[in-house]
Amino acid sequence: MHELAITEGVVEAVTGRLPGARISCVRLEIGALSGVVADSVRFCFDLVTEGTSLQGARLEITEPAGRCKCRTCGVEFEPDGPILLCPCGSADVAVLSGQDLKITSVMVA
Amino acid sequence: MVRLIPADHDGAAHGHGTGHDHDDHPHAPGHGAGHDHDDHPPGHGAGHDHPHAPGHGAAGHDHDDHPHAPGHGAAGHDHDDHPHAPGQRAGDRTVILQQKVLAKNDELAQRNREWLAKRGVLAVNLMSSPGAGKTTLLERTARELAGKLSLSVIEGDQETALDGHRIRAAGAAVVQINTGVGCHLDAAMVAEGLRALDPPGGSVVVIENVGNLVCPALFDLGEQARVVIASVTEGADKPAKYPNMFRQADLVLVNKIDLLPYVEFDVRSHEADLRGISPGALVVQVSATTGQGTQAWYDWLRRRAPAPLD
C-alpha cells in the first residue's frame, strides 16, 4: 500500500508549496505505467488530508495511457497492461509516457 | 513511525563520539537545526528508539515545508488553527503546480547518490518478497567475504530488530530501520541509515528493503544497483505478476535452487518471463543455504565495489 505514502507525499507537496492556503480541490495525474493505483489514492485521500489544509478538498485524477516505442522494430504502441511487450514480440522497449505521477494543479479557496 | 535501531551493539562500525564531523553526512531535510548528535550514538543498545524520524529536526522545526516521513500521520500535530472542510466555491482560484509527487524522495535519493559517490561507497538495493532469503544470503555473504570486502547492511523491516541481529552475528556492521506501517524504505530513511552506519570508502552497503514485491519498486533510494531475489518456492510466475519490480533489476538471484527437485518451478519459463520484462538483467541461480552459485554473486559485488580511496 505505497499509495498511503504517495498520498502523504501529495499533502506534503501541496502544503509545502502553498503554506497556510485552504485547498478546495487537488488535481493529480497518475499515468497507467506509474505503478500507482488511482483507486487506492482515492481511498487514502480523506484519511491523509484530515486535519490538514487539504481537508474536505475534492480529488480529481486523470489517468493517461502508457506509450512505448519498440527498440527492435521501431513501432510505437500502447501497452496492454503493465507488461511492456511490443506486438512484434520484443520486450526491449522504451517508455515514452505514462509513468508520470504528479500534482497538476490545485484550487485555493 | 520510523525507528532507527542500531543493531551494532559494540559500536564497531562507528566511531561516533566527540569531534565527529557531520558535515559530509547525507542529512535528511529539516534535519540539523538544534539537533545534538552526541545524544544518541549508534551502538547505543538494542531497542533504542531514535527520537527523530528522518527529516524530523528538533529546534526550529517548521511544519510548513516539512517533508513528513511515511507513517507520520496527522495525530500529534496541533491543527486547531486550521480552517476545516473549506469546500469548493466559485471564487476559488486554480494554482498550477505540475509537481512530481515523488520529487522530494527523488531529490533526497540524488543527494544520497552524490554522497555515496563522493565517499566511494557502492549501495545496492536488495528486494524480494518476504521469506525469499534476503537475510540468509546476506549472512552467508558477510561470513564468506569477511576480510575480502568491507560490507555493511541497512535492514528494513516493519517491526523487530531480528534481522539486524542476524547480520551483526554474521560479522557485518548493520543498522535496523523499522518502518512501522510503511511498506518500503524511502530515501530519507536511507539517508538516516547511512548517517548512522558511516560506511568507509571502498565498501559496499546492501540496503535490505522491506519484503514486498510491489511498493519498494517505486522509491529511488540513491542506490547504484538493484538486485531482486526470486526464490523457487514462490513459483515461476512472479516476474509476470510483478513486472514493475523485475523491470528495474540489474541482477536477479534465483534463490533456494537446492529445493528445485521438491517444488514445481519451471526454470525456463521463469527466465523467459524475466527476459520479456527485463532484457538487460543478469540472472544467477543460487542457494543461500548451501552456498551453491553464490560465487557469481560475490564476483558481481566485487566487480562493482569501488576501490578504497586511501
pLDDT in tens, B231-241: 999 999 999 88
Q: What is the pLDDT of residues B193-246, one digit of tens each?
A: 999 999 999 999 999 999 999 889 989 999 999 999 999 999 999 998 898 899
CB contact under 8 A, A12 and B104: yes
Instruction: Kindly list the domain boundaries of chain A, sorted by start residue.
Output: 2-65+98-108
B231 interface with A at CB cutoff 8 Å:
no
Q: What angle do CA B164, B165, B170 make, to 5 degrees?
A: 100
Query: If you count residue pairs, one on A and one on B, with CB atoms under 8 Å apart, how many are there?
Result: 144
pLDDT tens digits, B113-148: 999 999 999 999 999 999 999 999 999 999 999 999
Strands lying side by side in the sheet with B251-255: B3-5, B173-178, B151-157, B204-208, B122-127, B225-231, B251-255, B282-285
Alpha helices in chain B (DSSP H): 103-119, 134-144, 162-169, 187-197, 238-241, 243-247, 267-277, 294-304
Q: Is A97 on the interface with B (CB under 8 A)?
A: no
Residue B196 — left, alpha, or beta (φ > 0 → left; ψ -120 to 50 → alpha)? alpha
Name the phi and psi angles at B159, rounded to 5. -140, 165
Q: From CA B41, how far away is CA B24, in angstroms rounded?
A: 17
- Average pLDDT of every residue of chain A: 92
Q: Is the pLDDT of residue B61 over 50?
A: no
Reported pTM:
0.76
Q: Do A52 and B85 touch (CB under 8 A)?
A: no
* Half-sphere exposure (Cβ direction) of A21: Cα atoms closer than 13 Å: 23
Give the number of other Cβ atoms within 10 Å of residue B64's Cβ.
11
Domain B105-304 CATH superfamily: P-loop containing nucleotide triphosphate hydrolases (3.40.50.300)
Task: Please give the average per-residue pLDDT across A12-36, as a whole number.
Answer: 94
Q: Regarding the domain delimited by A2-65+98-108, which CATH topology (the fold level of the hierarchy) does it fall under?
A: hypothetical protein PF0899 fold (3.30.2320)
CB atoms B218 and A35 under 8 Å: yes
A24–B88 C-beta distance less than 8 A: yes
- The torsion angle over the Cα atoms of residues B52, B55, B60 and B66, rounded to 10 degrees, is -130
Give me the residues of A, 34-73, that contact B with CB < 8 A.
35-36, 48, 50-53, 55-58
Q: What is the pLDDT of residues B142-181, one digit of tens each?
A: 999 999 999 999 999 999 999 999 999 999 999 999 988 8
> Nearest-CA residue of chain A relative to B215?
A2
The residue ranking higher by pLDDT, B110 or B22, is B110
Greater confidence (B276 vs A11) lies with A11
Test mutation, B101, B105, B213, B237, chain A, max A CBs within 10 A:
B101
Question: Which one of B86, B99, B101 has the shortest CB-CB distance to A22?
Answer: B86
Cβ neighbourhood burial of B200 (10 Å; 0-12, 13-18, 19+):
middle
Residues of A in contact with B61 (CB under 8 A): none
pLDDT at B29 over 50: no
CB A31 within 8 A of CB A101: yes
